[in-house]
Amino acid sequence: MKMIMGMMGIPPRLHFWMPRPTQELYLIWEDMAAMEKKWGKDKVKDVQRESSFTFL
């Protein structure tokens, strides 16, 4: 249910409290939203900028 709600684009605040299943389809967008909530948009941008150089 949590996964489907996430895929439907329902805001994470409406389903973040639901327990995560043992087997879960990983969607990066959920963690991007969690990062923004925790760090703020500017820090997420900084992290992404830095990570773009990781394999170079």
Name the residues that contact another protein, by CB under 8 A: 3-4, 7, 9, 20, 22-29, 31-32, 34-35, 41, 47-49, 51-56
Q: How far is the CB of 56 from another protein (least distance, A)?
A: 5
Q: Closest separation between CB of residue 14 and another protein, Å?
A: 15
Using the structure block, give the residue that is written with the tokens 């500017």. 42
Please return the burial class of 5, using the count of CB atoms within 10 Å of its CB with bins 0-12, 13-18 and 19+. Answer: middle
Min separation Cβ 13 and another protein, Å: 16
Cβ atoms 34, 47 nearer than 8 A: no
